[in-house]
Amino acid sequence: MNKINPMLLNNSAFISGLRGLQGFVMETGADIDMAYDWVADQSGISSFCHDGAAFDCFYDVFMEASN
């Protein structure tokens, strides 16, 4: 069974990082690793890859921004 950390998806700093991701990617041409590090830095979270729902949200936003 997958356990989702609802706190991370409700974390305003994480959501703010996702909201700023498109501009960051467009301005810098960041790849997914650079974008991941940027969101983690902006949200003050050392890692969120262990949280499937949070990573899925990040991935969707990154893919939209990079296209």
Distance CA 8, CA 65 (A): 21
Predicted local distance difference test score (pLDDT) of residue 8: 86
pTM: 0.86
Which residues of the chain carry a pLDDT beneath 70? 1-6
Distance CA 26, CA 21 (A): 8
Tens digits of per-residue pLDDT, 17-28?
Answer: 999 999 999 999
Predicted local distance difference test score (pLDDT) of residue 1: 40
Taking residue 66's Cβ as centre, other Cβ atoms within 10 Å add up to: 15
Q: Which residues contact 10 (CB under 8 A, 6 or more apart)?
A: none
Burial degree of 60 (CB within 10 A; 0-12, 13-18, 19+):
exposed
